[in-house]
Structure 1
């Protein structure tokens, strides 16, 4: 499966669970471990976990893809799902602001979510 198709499935899965402020960063050429970062915010620990669960469920059912690594799920403040060339970060608002990955990866190209979803 093409990584752009996987990226679209991830973003759709996030959007289905009403995450806020979805950002997709193209880190190709500036990262040695991923091509894309997807960052979003959930309003509670429960929503953060629900977003992560939905991503895993949808990718497993529709593409037979499994996360290579999953971190932070128990605490539900920042869940990281590693799909090899796409890394997903699901944050609570304060944690997202504190780690500020968008600033840290400021050289990355920001992708238009509507374009990815085909809207």
Structure 2
């Protein structure tokens, strides 16, 4: 089995964030889980949209960008039926796209509070990462 390259997860994370920001995803952040024991993946990417339609559009944008830029398709996807929480599982990177209400109800940021957090924002198409 080929050795997993840490940069692959980081490249995938970058492309996912670009797809999210393209559709104006809100409060975009990544949780680096690599240093946590028994973590299910390397990174969680979390964001929310203002409506279910926007949540679907964000998910579609992520799917389009990852295929176009990296030829990567998710191993599993779910949540498109009600679009309150769409999950795109790329194995090493898992994307969680919520409605705002669902995001704060499930509060993954608090659940995984031990993870290193990186916030992203899009200032007039000038993407910027903010570290905490």
TM-score, normalised to structure 2, is 0.83
Q: CA RMSD in A?
A: 1.4
1:59 equivalent in structure 2: 66
- Which whole-Å CA distance do the structure 1 matches of 2:49 and 2:106 have between them? 15
- Higher RCO structure, 1 or 2 (CA under 8 Å, sep 6+): 1
- Which whole-Å CA distance do the structure 1 matches of 2:50 and 2:83 have between them? 11
> Which residue of 95, 101, 108 maps to 2:102?
95
Provide structure 2 residue ranges, at least 5 long, that are not aligned to the other structure.
1-6, 121-127
Greater shift in the superposed pair: 29-38 or 68-77:
29-38
Greater helix percent: which structure?
1
1:82 equivalent in structure 2: 89
Provide structure 1 residue ranges, at least 5 long, that are not aligned to the other structure.
none
- Which whole-Å CA distance do the structure 1 matches of 2:113 and 2:8 have between them? 25
Q: Which has the larger radius of gyration?
A: 2
SS in 1 for 2:44: strand
Return the offset for 1:115.
3.5
- Which whole-Å CA distance do the structure 2 matches of 1:32 and 1:103 have between them? 15
Please list the CA deviations of residues 47-85 of structure 1 after superposition, one character each: whole Å capped at 9, or x if unmatched: 000000010011111211001110111110000000110
> Which residue of 47, 54, 67 maps to 2:54?
47
Greater strand percent: which structure?
2
> Which residue of 95, 111, 115 maps to 2:129?
115
